[in-house]
Amino acid sequence: MSMLENLVYIKEYGETAFLQQQRKKYTCPDCGKLRTVHHDYCIYCKQDKRSGKSGTGMKKTKE
């Protein structure tokens, strides 16, 4: 959601509902900790956000 969509959601449903929705969205299904939006993987258990598979979520670099 964009910032404007977030504000509309908060206006319609309230701050508590928004925070509950965000907590559910950003909770890692593997370890149950909150994920960061800054990485493509859970920083605690390394579960990939997109695939749901464990791993680093980082692209390998050429050696």
The pLDDT profile of the chain, 63 residues, written as one tens digit per residue, is 699 999 999 999 999 999 999 999 999 999 999 998 888 889 999 887 666 555 544 443 443
Bridge partners of 34, per DSSP, are: 27
pLDDT of residue 39: 86
Distance of alpha carbon 60 from alpha carbon 63, whole angstroms: 9
Single out the residue of 26, 51, 22, 27 nearest to residue 13, CA to CA. 22
pLDDT of residue 36: 87
Distance of alpha carbon 4 from alpha carbon 31, whole angstroms: 31
Neighbours of 48 (CB within 10 A): 17
